Amino acid sequence: MKNCYLINFDEIGNDENGYLIALEENKQIPFDIKRVYYTHRVPCDSKRGFHAHHNLEQVLVCLSGKVIMKCFDGSDEIEYSLDSPNKGVYIGPMVWHEMYGYTEETVLMAVASDLYKEVDYIRSMDLFMELVNDEK
């Protein structure tokens, strides 16, 4: 699987007082951070994503509730079940991703390497496959 992997974050604390997780650029997050955004109150039967990016790098962290992330690099597909804030999924360039299996509590945060630029999106699977095959 290209440009996509799970990251486990170290937790500071204990059961008595709770836990803290710090995300710093070029440490837990493997790039310079330019933007953070999150989705919440997504209906449980919704599916989101359905795109890849030309250049953007992101780490997605499920802060509350659960969500499933399906990632596809044009050849291999992998599904991550995100159910804890102590892990994140790195999604680099040219990874088609879809999110589903939301719960009422789901808050999905994304830490991103660039500002929002619609021109960086690939929202058509046909175009995505063409670009993947051009790269080969």
In the complex, which residues of this chain contact ligand TYD (CB under 6 A)? 35, 37, 39, 48-49, 116
Q: Minimum Å distance from CB 120 to ligand TYD?
A: 10
| CB nearer to ligand TYD: pick between 45 and 134 | 45
Active site residue 51: yes
Q: Minimum Å distance from CB 127 to ligand TYD?
A: 15
CA 66 from centre of chain: 13
Neighbours of 23 (CB within 10 A): 16
CA 15 from centre of chain: 28
CB 113 within 8 A of CB 31: yes
| CB nearer to ligand TYD: pick between 49 and 93 | 49
Helix residue ranges, H only, the chain: 125-135
| CB nearer to ligand TYD: pick between 11 and 100 | 100
Q: Give the three-class secondary structure for 108.
A: strand
The residue assigned the tokens 């994503």 is 49
Q: Minimum Å distance from CB 43 to ligand TYD?
A: 13
The residues annotated as belonging to the active site are 51
